[in-house]
Amino acid sequence: MQIGFIGLGKMGHPMARRLIEAGHTLVVFDTRGDATAPLVALGAQLASSPRDVADRVETVMASLPEPHIVASVATGDSGVINGKRIKRFVDLSTTGSRAAADIAAQLAKKDIAQIDSPVSGGVAGAVKGTLAVMVSGPQADIDVVKDALGVFGTVFVIGNQPGMAQTMKLANNFLSATAMAATSEAVVMGVKAGLDPAIMIDVINAGSGRNTASTGKFPNAILPRTFDAGFATALMLKDVRLCLAEAKAAGVPTDMMGMVASLWERVASEIGADKDFTTIIQPVERRAGVIVGKV
Ligand code: NAD
């Protein structure tokens, strides 16, 4: 099918490439020319704005960093809302349920359906097509895009109300953020006591402490000290803040979320929001006076 794709960053680029490889025809836009060039080389057509994308195709996907950017791409003056052909906007970004519902309501005034489709599984999952793809929105539009979304991984239809898939995604990322925070403190404690962090990770992964940080981020990016998982601290902090706000608005307990959020705030202020999120271990190491992994 013909698909517009806006936002060709760490996640958008491999997802757009998989769509082309699966035989779809793409119209692409990104504010960075160096982001669109590799897709154009693979046969994608280049558009000059989100509106231009939406002038050319019925289905527009977006993978953008922050909720306010998604809002401007969707409903700004040169946003997809003013496109001539668009029928549905598929948002692959993590924005939280309130932002998704706001955008859905504005697009609905122009008879454009919004499908929330946040993804989980990281850059590696986007490259391999093994993401968890969470979807909510009008069923008829989900039916139109389900096969194309299947190129990214396993599609889970969460519900038909706008924002439901976003709530699912925030719950998932809170757990991922918590695994990173808790595993960092556990491993730093062991290293300070003289334990070998590689043996610790092997034991945790053979035992009941196993989690996504211990199986993925620690062996691949923290122990080798490459800090290159491909997800910025700014984006994880955004997700944790959104989750905390959503949980507070829902009136549910947030004890764990509050503690985890405060550690991510510290990572952003002490290490840098632009750094990879695997640098979460560094403020813990600083306070403990030890380094985990190779130096
Ligand atoms: P990224 O910063 O690498 O990519 C974002 C892209 O959007 C960039 O190429 C940027 O130039 C482009 N962009 C910014 N403003 C734009 C605009 N106004 N119009 C057009 N393009 C614009 O971010 P990412 O890591 O690919 O994440 C994208 C989304 O996916 C985020 O919402 C993130 O939370 C989510 N996500 C990321 C990961 C991950 O591991 N990186 C995993 C799951 C979900």
Token code pair at residue 122 = 């990281």
Report how far ligand 1's centroid is from the alpha carbon of 191 (Å).
Answer: 35
Closest ligand 1 atom, CA of 93? 32
**Is a pLDDT exceeding 70 seen at residue 294?**
no
Ligand 1 test: best mutation among 80, 220, 235, most atoms within 8 Å of CB? 235
- Ligand 1 contacts (CB < 6 A) are 6-12, 29-32, 35, 63-65, 69, 73, 93-94, 119-120, 122-123, 230-231, 235
Q: What is the pTM of this model?
A: 0.96
Residues 154 and 37 placed together within one structural domain of the fold: yes
Residues 6 and 135 placed together within one structural domain of the fold: yes
DSSP state of 109: T
Range of the domain at 41: 2-159
- Domain termination site, one of 113, 135, 159: 159
CATH number for the domain spanning 210: value is 1.10.1040.10
Residues 30 and 125 placed together within one structural domain of the fold: yes
Phi-psi region of 138 (alpha: psi -120 to 50; beta: other; left: phi over 0): beta
pLDDT the model gives residue 235: 96
Q: How far is CA 79 from CA 40, 54, 74, 76, 213, in A?
A: 21, 8, 5, 5, 37
pLDDT the model gives residue 293: 83
Residues 212 and 87 placed together within one structural domain of the fold: no
Give the number of other CB atoms < 10 A from CB of residue 168: 21
Query: In the chain, what percentage of residues exceed pLDDT 90?
Result: 99
Residues 183 and 118 placed together within one structural domain of the fold: no
Phi-psi region of 197 (alpha: psi -120 to 50; beta: other; left: phi over 0): alpha
**Is a pLDDT exceeding 60 seen at residue 166?**
yes
Whether 295 is in a domain gets the answer no
Summarize pLDDT for 167-216 with one digit per residue, the tens. Answer: 999 999 999 999 999 999 999 999 999 999 999 999 999 999 999 999 99
Segment 108-121 mean pLDDT: 98
Whether 201 is in a domain gets the answer yes
Summarize pLDDT for 19-61 with one digit per residue, the tens. Answer: 999 999 999 999 999 999 999 999 999 999 999 999 999 999 9
Whether 67 is in a domain gets the answer yes
Whether 137 is in a domain gets the answer yes
- Domain termination site, one of 159, 191, 221: 159
Domain count, the chain: 2
Residues 173 and 56 placed together within one structural domain of the fold: no
Residues 245 and 189 placed together within one structural domain of the fold: yes
Segment 231-254 mean pLDDT: 97
Taking the alpha carbons at both ends of the chain, their separation in whole angstroms is 49
- Domain termination site, one of 128, 159, 190: 159
Residues 263 and 173 placed together within one structural domain of the fold: yes
CATH number for the domain spanning 65: value is 3.40.50.720
Whether 186 is in a domain gets the answer yes
Summarize pLDDT for 73-90 with one digit per residue, the tens. Answer: 999 999 999 999 999 999
Report the distance separating Cα 50 and Cα 117, nearest Å: 18
Residues 138 and 188 placed together within one structural domain of the fold: no
Residues 240 and 155 placed together within one structural domain of the fold: no
Residues 35 and 103 placed together within one structural domain of the fold: yes
Q: Note whether 177 and 115 are within 8 A (CB).
A: no
Residue of 166, 182, 154 lying closest to 263 (CA atoms) = 182
Whether 29 is in a domain gets the answer yes
Whether 294 is in a domain gets the answer no
Whether 181 is in a domain gets the answer yes
Residues 33 and 141 placed together within one structural domain of the fold: yes
Report how far ligand 1's centroid is from the alpha carbon of 258 (Å).
Answer: 25
